[in-house]
Structure 1
Amino acid sequence: MTAVRDERGAALELASVTKRFGDFVAVDDLTLTVPSGSFFALLGPSGCGKTTTLRMVAGLEQPSAGTIGLAGRDVTGVPAHRRPVNTVFQSYALFPHLSVLENVAFGLRRRRARQVRERALEALDLVELAHLAQRRPAQLSGGQQQRVALARAVVNRPALLLLDEPLGALDLKLRRHMQLELKAIQAEVGLTFVHVTHDQEEAMTMADTVAVMNHGRIEQLGPPADLYEHPRTAFVANFLGQSNLVPGRAAGSSADGTTLGVDVGGAWVRVPAVRSVASSQRVLVGVRPEKIRLLGEGHQPRGDENVLGPGTVVDTSFAGVSTQYQVEVAGLGRFGVFAQNVGGSTVHAPGDRVLLAWDVPYTFALDGHEESDAGTLGPDDEP
């Protein structure tokens, strides 16, 4: 399929978009630009406003305030069927009485397009299903049905393709396979994809840019690696992966100003100044679980490391590529630690006394007035 790119720069522009349902504000003064040809993800928990945003872009909801632009055109009041947008849903929404080919061709026939069969077959070839063109949806697996739904959306060559939790109904192994396929298809056809999901791994695997949403606003936006390594709020640090966040008090900087010193429960922890967004003495010091080394009896930290503890291992879980630990440090709480399983690595048992050590550059500092558990999900929460 020939790549389609909008050379005007932005495929989607939201300007001060707000959506209210009575007294409830679902989307709060949202301004956002999605570049043409990009794979963009709106990531957040249930109720954060991401699906409402998608529905407003699709024309299924009207904003209470603000404007929506698609491919350089204001479509705020334009009905859904007249917008250059297609949506792929989790439910597939295929017509059971039509063949795979006719499902893909349906939109082209309604628009009285030319070369309908050729274009439909080309779209099916893109998703590697041309050989199943004459089958009915019921004769396909879940992953195959999702690819048919994608081909049906892509064949119309919209300015924007919306993906609404498209992989949620698939099992874990197939979902991971489809993540890579979707990313490859987007790169090949050059369409702009906006993907709505609550799955952090899915967003980071597929998207060029991720916008983390919370309470109708964007907490942070950027490339996945940047959000993961440089979170600017406790919500982002906890929701995008896992983080250990502990309160501390800023107590000075290095002579050259490159490092911030923080008192954490009586221990001296150094934070690179470029990784600190704290604006007062009260800070939250953070480090990702996979950055920490556990040092057992007889092992000493290096002089250039941050160190906390000693603490007590309270849980050890084997997770294939890593062993995951929970370590209780008196006065500071519980830390998660992920140790990669490599030959000869020490496995610490519950009850072992250990030090927690990590390289200074892996440390970050957030506003200490935030809740350290913001963005975490409890056992009764839904993502």
Structure 2
Amino acid sequence: MNTGDGPASDSGADLVLQSISKRFGDYLAVDELDLTIPAGSFFALLGPSGCGKTTTLRMVAGLEQPTGGRIMIGGKDVTSTKAFQRPVNTVFQNYALFPHLSVLENVAFGLKRRKVRDAEAQAKDALTLVELSHLSARRPAQLSGGQQQRVALARAIVNRPAVLLLDEPLGALDMKLRRQMQVELKNIQADVGLTFVHVTHDQEEAMTMADCVAVMNAGKVEQMGAPAELYELPKTTFVANFLGKSNLMPGAVTEDLGSDIAVNVQGNRLVVPKNRTTQQTGEVIVGVRPEKIVVLDSSHEASPRSNAITGAKVIDVSFTGVSTEYLVEVPGIGRLGVFRQNLGGAEVRLGDQVTLAWQPEHSFGLDGEQDTSAGADEEAV
């Protein structure tokens, strides 16, 4: 849906949020948020419900007025401008297509309202871009959910906004179609070169589509960076737990090994590279992703340079097709998860005593005072 009929742009533009805040009575929804989103990038705001991501998007769109701070688009302060005056368009989850208009008329609506001379030709080009030109005469009710989503996207893109806002645009689609549309959206963004800002609570969706992801929590950005960077090297327990799954184990630094530190976790000596930890002395939380761990039965030993935890007991085995997920209990540490690709070989069974091993370079270290459960129970798909 268009948030207005603001001036069109030939290309994407930088979006800069400077100390943006938003209060609803006593509730602080967005807390002095600073963001710079480069022109032409595909940016994702990722977080659980209530973290402030949709409120942030609505302030950029002009649908909410900030309590404080500034919004800049292409170097121009738009904080006080109305929604229809901004070079911004929004695609919402419910698409908001006009049911009485054809697909072509829906896409051309904003252009004709602004009395653009070649509105219909531009609308046809936009439908070609989203591969729906053959359905231009149909009404929205005659389209599938995925097709309606693409019409809404074409209607927004045809206005050539400086910034295109996507508010959970794939949330109403089934899983298979959602995955397909993730790839198509990314390809369309690359073709048109506009600045896309995508709001979602779906971690896989953000990581699949975005060049850069900002993980939001309680009105603030916990961490921002490329998807692989956030996943491989989270800086907080919230990011480690919300973006995928992590095994987090509190311990204490016992040795300085030059480029590494050694951490005592319930009698297990675990090595963490210094460039992969936010803290190098005192209390530290050692983290490792489940797929980085190898499960070794009693007939195998961990290599000398591996991090290893002994005395683990398998308490659950879940076959998921491409992999098997193990839940193991470790005395003094608790329950840890392991993902193992189904490549054949010896099976680990329920009740087995095992050793968990992984390479030190797959470890990461976090501030020992953080809550190891932060982000683990938040809404995620």
TM range (shorter): over 0.9
> Deviation per CA, 1:310-341, whole angstroms, max 9, x where unpaired?
21101101111110010000110000000011
1:5 aligns with 2:6: no
> Deviation per CA, 1:236-280, whole angstroms, max 9, x where unpaired?
0000000000100011211xx211110000110000000010264
Aligned residues: 373
> Deviation per CA, 1:332-370, whole angstroms, max 9, x where unpaired?
00000000111x233211101110000110000000000
Structure 1 segment 235-254 matched on structure 2, within 5 A: 235-254=238-257
Q: Distance in 1 between matches of 2:37 and 2:151?
A: 26
1:310 aligns with 2:311: yes
1:348 aligns with 2:351: no
Q: Distance in 1 between matches of 2:231 and 2:342?
A: 22
Could you tell me which residue of structure 2 aligns to residue 368 of structure 1? Answer: 368
* DSSP 3-state at the match of 1:283: strand
Counterpart amino acid of residue 354 in structure 2: V
Structure 1 segment 46-195 matched on structure 2, within 5 A: 46-195=49-198
Structure 1 ranges of 4+ moved more than 3 A = none
* DSSP 3-state at the match of 2:14: strand
> Deviation per CA, 1:100-119, whole angstroms, max 9, x where unpaired?
00000000011111211110
> Deviation per CA, 1:76-113, whole angstroms, max 9, x where unpaired?
00011111100000001000000000000000011111
CA contact (8 A) 2:21 2:69 kept: yes
Q: Distance in 2 between matches of 1:79 and 1:280?
A: 51
Gaps of 5+ in 2: 1-8
> Deviation per CA, 1:32-56, whole angstroms, max 9, x where unpaired?
0000000000000000000000000
Counterpart amino acid of residue 136 in structure 2: A
Q: Distance in 2 between matches of 1:262 and 1:114?
A: 69
Distance change in 2, residues 1:126/1:288 (3 Å): same
* DSSP 3-state at the match of 2:298: coil
Counterpart amino acid of residue 349 in structure 1: R
Q: Distance in 1 between matches of 2:293 and 2:120?
A: 57
Could you tell me which residue of structure 2 aligns to residue 358 of structure 1? Answer: 358
Counterpart amino acid of residue 363 in structure 1: S
Could you tell me which residue of structure 2 aligns to residue 234 of structure 1? Answer: 237
Q: Distance in 2 between matches of 1:372 and 1:190?
A: 40
Could you tell me which residue of structure 2 aligns to residue 332 of structure 1? Answer: 333
Q: Distance in 1 between matches of 2:375 and 2:232?
A: 16
CA contact (8 A) 1:4 1:189 kept: no
Deviation at 1:5, TM superposition (A): 2.6
Could you tell me which residue of structure 1 aligns to residue 293 of structure 2? Answer: 292
Counterpart amino acid of residue 36 in structure 2: T
Q: Distance in 2 between matches of 1:347 and 1:23?
A: 55
CA contact (8 A) 1:16 1:30 kept: yes
Counterpart amino acid of residue 377 in structure 1: D
> Deviation per CA, 1:152-173, whole angstroms, max 9, x where unpaired?
0000000000000000000000
Counterpart amino acid of residue 259 in structure 1: D
Deviation at 1:309, TM superposition (A): 2.1
> Deviation per CA, 1:189-247, whole angstroms, max 9, x where unpaired?
00000000000000000000000000000000000000001100000000000000010
Counterpart amino acid of residue 365 in structure 1: G
Could you tell me which residue of structure 2 aligns to residue 277 of structure 1? Answer: 278
Q: Distance in 2 between matches of 1:382 and 1:375?
A: 9
Q: Distance in 1 between matches of 2:236 and 2:30?
A: 19
Q: Distance in 2 between matches of 1:341 and 1:358?
A: 18
Q: CA RMSD of the aligned region, Å?
A: 1.2
Tell me whether 130-139 or 271-280 shows the greater mean CA deviation: 271-280
Q: Distance in 2 between matches of 1:365 and 1:118?
A: 56
Q: TM-score, normalised by structure 1?
A: 0.96
Q: TM-score, normalised by structure 2?
A: 0.96
Q: Distance in 1 between matches of 2:116 and 2:101?
A: 19
Identity of aligned residues (%): 63
Gaps of 5+ in 1: none
CA contact (8 A) 2:261 2:280 kept: no
* DSSP 3-state at the match of 2:149: helix
Deviation at 1:71, TM superposition (A): 1.6
Could you tell me which residue of structure 1 aligns to residue 3 of structure 2? Answer: none
Deviation at 1:72, TM superposition (A): 1.4
Counterpart amino acid of residue 370 in structure 2: E
